Each structure stands twice: as C-alpha cells, then as structure tokens.
Amino acid sequence: MKIYNSINSFQASSKTIVTLGTFDGVHIGHQKIIEKLIENAKKSYFESTVLTFFPHPRMVLQDQAEIKLLNTIDERTALLEKTGLQNLIIHPFDRIFSRLTAEEFVKNILVERLNVGKIVIGYDHRFGRNRTANIDDLIEFGAKYNFEVEQISAQEIQEASVSSTKIRTALEVGNISLANQYLGYSYFLTGVVKKGKQLGRTIGFPTANLKIEENYKLIPKEGVYIVESNLDGKKVYGMMNIGTNPTFDERLLSIEIHFLDFNADLYNQKIQISLLKYLRPEQKFESVALLKTQLDIDKNLTLQYVAKL
C-alpha cells in the first residue's frame, strides 16, 4: 500500500476507484465497504484508493471537541494496510478544506487530483461545506464529471449494525466483547513501556507501565482486563489494570500489564496490547494482602480463559 500525506502529493497513474471517510476503528462496516472497493478495482483495473482525514473533522470544527478516537492515525493506517488497499491518502483536515463546496470538492479533489473513475460510498454519506450534499448529489456530479457511483445500501450497512459511536459506547461501559464483535478484531492500545513506581513488584505482580502519547485515543472503562500481546515474536497473555491504584492511594490514571510467563526488559519499547475480556471494575482494598488475594483470583481466571483459546 502506498501512503500519501496529502491530496497534493498523490499522482494517479490510472483511473482510481475511491471511497472516503474518517474510518475510525476500521470496523466490520468499514471493512465491507473496502472489500467492495477492492473487488471493484480488480474488475475495472482502477487503483483502489481511500481518502481519509486527520485530524478528525470534529476536532477542527467543534470548539474544544473532546472526541476520543478508536485508533491513532498510525493504528488506522496499519489496519487499512491489512485490507490489501493500493493507495491511502491521509489529508490534513482544516477549516479552509472544510469550506469547499460539494462541487468544488468533487471537481478539484476527486476529478482533477484523484482522477476518479468510480466512487463506492455508504448510503448515508454526506460531504461538502456544512455536509449539505448527499448520495443523490454525488450521482448528479458523477453524470456531469463522468464517473460512476456505487452506493452501499442501507440494508448492507444495517446488516453489520455497527458504527464507531456504538463501539466507543461499548468500550466506555466495559463491554469489550461487543466492541470486539463490532470491530472484527480485538480492540488494542499502543504505547511505550515506561518505568513506574514498581508497586506491583512488591507483591509478586510486576507490571509494564504503558504510556500512550496520543491524548485523543479512547481508553476503555477503568478495570481489569485479560489481554494479549506479541513480545519478542511470541504471543503472551496477561492481566491489565486501567485505573488509579486506589489501594496505594494513587491519583493519576495508569495502564499497567502483568504478563504471564514473560520476564524480559520492555522499558522504552513500543508494544501493542489487545483486550480480550473485561474481568472486573477497579476497587480499593482495605489492605495490600487483600489486593494480592484478588490478583491471584484474577490470574487464575486469566489462565482458565487462555486455556480455552
């Protein structure tokens, strides 16, 4: 897959078949659209191309918008690369770009820059200044500027019954199984392991302290999760706590993972943690001994879960 960091850097060597959107999560609904895009590209010999945007439009257009995204831009790129897509254009979204009328966007961007031959788009997609144009307008522009429009029907989208908003809601309440079902993969966090206070070591549960640089990344509900990661080429399972360590009277949110059967030094390494199951909410224990007892229970539950995989 070729990656372009703006529309201006893209040079079409042939006609393109395009879909566009933010694709946050690259969930099963998005995957359906991209599968159709790639299938069409093979039949027509057009280059399969996704046009996406960063920052998210709501971050730019809504003052102090605190939208949390399912993917960082690097995570979104990696997920799209797995689909077999030929071209990914990540265009910087700003207020100037947002003021393009629907026809300016079609003529200047899709036709003149991307050399579009066909567009594959969801039935409810809206575009142009203030999102005033819809699929019917796009079909009219297609007739005017000589490109095809293929609409993903409401029925096809509703069969997936999924949206990025639904996934965010599921993660915020700890329903990781539903979120993963909608995503078509296990929700994951990517960050760098940094040295923490090493409190876990004192009770026999050393942890990797994960720091996520991107403040727009959605962190799921606080609590304990069963997780997996690929470390040194090996699949490793563990327990992850998202919270403030109330038993130790901590205040700042931390993400800490205790890996099973893994002892190598991970400091300053970037790792990816996939969330498999929500075990329980974080809680404050009356003593460190009671916390350790609960961690032993969590570990046994994790081992039982992993044994069934």
Indicate the pTM of the whole model: 0.93
Q: Cβ(19)–Cβ(121) under 8 Å? A: yes
Predicted confidence (pLDDT) at residue 183 exceeds the cutoff of 90 = yes
Q: 227 forms bridges with which residues in the sheet?
A: 238, 275
pLDDT at 65: 64
With a pLDDT cut of 90, the percent of the chain lying above it is 71
| Whole-Å CA distances, 269 to 193, 210, 244, 260, 275 | 6, 10, 23, 18, 19
pLDDT at 39: 94
Q: What is the mean pLDDT of the chain?
A: 91
Q: Which residue has the higher pLDDT, 63 or 262?
A: 262
Residue 127 pLDDT grade (very low, low, confident, very high; cuts 50, 70, 90): confident
CB count, 10 Å around CB of 126?
A: 14
Mean pLDDT of 30-44: 92
Diameter of the chain by CA atoms?
Answer: 73
Tens digits of residue pLDDT in 64-89 = 667 899 999 999 999 999 999 999 99
pLDDT at 64: 61
Tens digits of residue pLDDT in 197-213 = 676 677 888 899 999 99
Residue 155 pLDDT grade (very low, low, confident, very high; cuts 50, 70, 90): low
Mean pLDDT of 221-233: 96
Separation of alpha carbons 98 and 156, rounded Å: 29
Q: Which two tokens stand for residue 182?
A: 């909608």
With a pLDDT cut of 70, the percent of the chain lying above it is 94
Predicted confidence (pLDDT) at residue 135 exceeds the cutoff of 90 = no
pLDDT at 179: 97
Tokens 């997780």 found at? 227
Tens digits of residue pLDDT in 274-301 = 999 999 999 989 998 999 999 999 999 9
Predicted confidence (pLDDT) at residue 160 exceeds the cutoff of 60 = no
Predicted confidence (pLDDT) at residue 121 exceeds the cutoff of 80 = yes
Separation of alpha carbons 17 and 48, rounded Å: 5
Mean pLDDT of 4-15: 93
pLDDT at 128: 78
pLDDT at 154: 61
Q: Which two tokens stand for residue 170?
A: 């599921």
pLDDT at 109: 94
